[in-house]
A and B are shown apart, each in its own frame.
Chain A
Amino acid sequence: KNEVEQSPQNLTAQEGEFITINCSYSVGISALHWLQQHPGGGIVSLFMLSSGKKKHGRLIATINIQEKHSSLHITASHPRDSAVYICAVEAGSQGNLIFGKGTKLSVKP
């Protein structure tokens, strides 16, 4: 079992829909990151969380430390949101990231 599990693996939505991507982890963490990866490969950092909830534009990220679970929500989805969304946790003293396999989101117009 991977230390970081994401669901779903693939997600297709219609423009305007509310989207939720889930992340569960099995290790103690100091922070959790949500990242966006476009087809070219570059990764953009969306959120870094250690507790509670953060909001940026149409994106909302929440984390429940006790349940070892985080969610990324996208409101009023748009085709430009199509990308792979990756959950990653900082679990060691080194500060390196342990990544989930990602959720491939496709938003249709």
Chain B
Amino acid sequence: ETGVTQSPTHLIKTRGQQVTLRCSSQSGHNTVSWYQQALGQGPQFIFQYYREEENGRGNFPPRFSGLQFPNYSSELNVNALELDDSALYLCASSSSLATNYGYTFGSGTRLTVV
């Protein structure tokens, strides 16, 4: 059973650029959620994908977008990067939309926007 893998682990981008972060879900999981964690804060929900469809979104602007692929891996894309986008981006996979199922988290991608 593989865990959740995120890539890259660290990334430095310039304001205005675009970035793509990747996440492989745990084997058998069909739901992927993305979270943004600013320094010293708890993670904030960005959006969730279930069977390749967006299934919920937090309070993030449209320049945050995502994809889920047939193998349930996922991408997070951020356009027109801003300095405040600097954060740890976490991906979590789970096996069902229903509640009471556990989550497996990746180690995160630390994005720095300069």
Interface residues of A (CB under 8 A from B): 4, 30-31, 33, 35, 40-45, 48, 50, 86, 88, 90, 92, 94-102
Contacts and interface: CB of A to CB of B under 8 A. Distances in A.
Interface residues of B, number: 32
B9 to A, nearest CB: 9
Nearest to A96: B45
Contacts of A100: 42
Given A50-B100, A95-B96, A97-B103, 9 more contacts: A4-B42, A42-B107, A42-B108, A43-B108, A86-B42, A95-B56, A96-B33, A97-B33, A97-B43
Contacts of B70: none
Interface in B23-75: 31, 33, 35, 37, 40-45, 48, 55-56, 58
